Amino acid sequence: MKDSATKAGLIDRRPAIGSVTLCVATTLYLLFVTNHAFWSTAYGDFATDRLSFVLFAIGISAVSMAIVTAFSAKYVTKPFLILFVLTAAAGSWFTDQFGVIVDKEMIRNAAVSTGAEAGHLITVRFALHMLLTGILPSLLIVWVRIRHRPVLSKLAHNTGVILACLSVFATIGFGDYRAFAGVGRAHRDILERLNPFAPITSTIGFAVSSEEDARVAAAPLGIDAHRVNTAGLNKPRVTIIVAGETARADDFSLGGYPRKTNPELEKQNVVYFPNTSSCGTATAISIPCMFSIYPRTAYTHRKGLATENLLDVLSHAKVDVSWLDNDTGSYHVTDRVAYTSLPQSNDPRFCKDSECLDAILLDKVDDWLDHVKGDSVLVLHQIGSHGPAYFARYPDEYRRFVPDCRANDFGNCTAEEITNAYDNTILYTDHVVSTVIDKLKQHSEKVAGAAIYVSDHGESLGENGIYLHGAPYIVAPSQQTHVPFLAWVSDDLAKSAGFDMSCMAKQTDGSRSHDNLFHSVLGLMDVATKVYDPHLDVFAACRRQTDKTASIQ
């Protein structure tokens, strides 16, 4: 009895607080501790109208209180408040430290990340941030006692608070509608940094769409595809596509970057397209989009799932297609062709902690080329320049730009060290792509080869306080959407297929994009089909027109 009385006394000593009061206190904590990036961005968006910013802040605070207060119910309040606090703490780390926006596509990208890839983001500073801004406040919520009103009284009281908050929000919204509408049109991402509501909404949207996506079947595409202009070659036509990862065109010396990041490719007689834009800013979007028939402006994740892609059309034309992956997967692009994930091999020559250097791709190319029997396409999916652990993407012999950042946490490195590490990844990618070309040359007696390299998206290296990638395309900085794109065609393939490579060298000034890949590969492989568009084929303008080549168009 004495022990029970003691425990009861301890419980009684815990501070008691009304459920709505706790909700309001939690809302204020969320708004003013975990939303630095949101308020900083909004303050800049309202730069010419500070009064409107003050009204905006009041309105956002009011609607946030209404949302949180809606969960003020017995047995529900604490779990949801803790969920809000932990979500806001995690979201604030990425918005404040990297300038990223945790939208639906960012959630999609995170969902397909490997444990090793995600592990690079779990740093000591991240753990400390979560402890101070997430776990400790959550423990405080657990500790306090909540005084709940009787059911009917609670319902009336909560409803009154929620309606009052919504009234404030509506009054401010309508009262200054012109200013808010103008800012909203100019800055459509203004609410996408609001923690925890934006991340939670994005997660729910992703979960709902994923369940629907699981029931989608790909409709046939290009089933009329067939190879043409085959008489001029007595050996298989082979194209190797290197799908780059996180390489930004700004750091390619082929495009004018002052550092020599492409010393090997500069000697390979490649055609480089300096003005190329990506389909997305994250791998989960860009990879399926760049292999799809849809242009960026029409592409959606659902369309990508519901329609066969470039690899399927090549297969319909009896072209042998294979994909070797050293990244996080093909995102359903390879659902109907041969696919091999190389990190799963844990080859000690190339791999450590479930991640591998891109040399593991090169290790497989010779064997693949030795077994080519007919027209073939091989896709090599790099880990490339994926951050934040840039230092893990290249071997020591490619540490040419030093000092380089040797940590996962950018907070431990200077801006120069981060750039040096990133440029070393580009230098190594230069070696990988150049080696692919060399291997095609070495097998020239058996195959007529071509190589295409294009990165899936770019990367921010601290410009305007933004790091990494994944920004919504509509507001993404050019560093995340401007990507390198190049092609190399062997002399015998160019001659037999009617390509004028001197002409190609003069066709590099115009704008290109991921939209071109689908049609350019079909053109390069001389595959005729109704879904081929010569206007999107970067080689078409420099192909000598003969009866055979005309039939492809």
The domain tally of the chain equals 2
Q: How far apart are CA 36 and CA 33, in angstroms?
A: 7
Count CA atoms within 13 Å of residue 312 on its CB side.
23
Same-domain pairing of 54 and 18: yes
Q: How far apart are CA 16 and CA 13, in angstroms?
A: 9
Identify whether 388 is preceded by a cis peptide bond (ω within 30 of 0). Answer: yes
Same-domain pairing of 187 and 266: no
Q: How far apart are CA 244 and CA 361, in angstroms?
A: 12
Same-domain pairing of 257 and 169: no
Amino acid at 104: K
Same-domain pairing of 460 and 322: yes
pLDDT at 547: 40
Q: Is residue 297 part of a domain?
A: yes
Residue range(s) defining the domain that contains residue 163: 10-212
Same-domain pairing of 171 and 29: yes
Same-domain pairing of 262 and 151: no
Q: How far apart are CA 315 and CA 301, in angstroms?
A: 22
pLDDT at 11: 52
pLDDT at 551: 45
Same-domain pairing of 269 and 208: no
Amino acid at 151: V
Task: Tally Cβ neighbours within 10 Å of residue 224.
Answer: 11
Same-domain pairing of 107 and 21: yes
Q: Is residue 227 part of a domain?
A: no
What ranges make up the beta strands (E) of 245-395?
271-272, 276-277, 320-325, 338-341, 351-352, 355-356, 376-381
Q: Is residue 381 part of a domain?
A: yes
Which of 270, 324, 325 shows the shortest CA–CA distance to 484?
270
Q: Is residue 220 part of a domain?
A: no
Q: Is residue 217 part of a domain?
A: no
How confident is the chain (553 residues) per 10-residue block, as mean pLDDT?
Answer: 52 80 94 93 87 92 94 90 95 87 81 75 90 95 89 87 93 86 81 91 87 88 89 84 98 97 97 96 95 96 96 97 96 96 93 94 96 96 96 97 94 95 98 98 95 97 92 93 97 84 81 97 95 94 60 47
pLDDT at 68: 94
Same-domain pairing of 250 and 136: no
Q: Is residue 68 part of a domain?
A: yes
Same-domain pairing of 266 and 154: no
Q: Is residue 223 part of a domain?
A: no
Same-domain pairing of 421 and 461: yes
Find residue 527's DSSP bridge partners. Answer: 227
Query: Looking at residue 516, which CATH number applies to its domain?
Result: 3.40.720.10
Among 143, 178, 212, the domain boundary falls at: 212
Question: Could you tell me which residues come within 8 angstroms of residue 273 by beta carbon, excluding any fewer than 6 positions away?
Answer: 485, 486, 487, 508, 512, 538
pLDDT at 131: 96
Residue 486, H or E segment: strand 485-489
pLDDT at 12: 61
Which of 73, 52, 67 shows the shortest CA–CA distance to 157?
73
Is 0.85 topped by the overall pTM? yes
Same-domain pairing of 239 and 169: no
Burial 305-337 (b: 16+ CB within 10 A, else e): bebbbbbbbbbbbebbbbbbbbbbbbbbbbeeb
Q: Is residue 222 part of a domain?
A: no
pLDDT at 100: 81
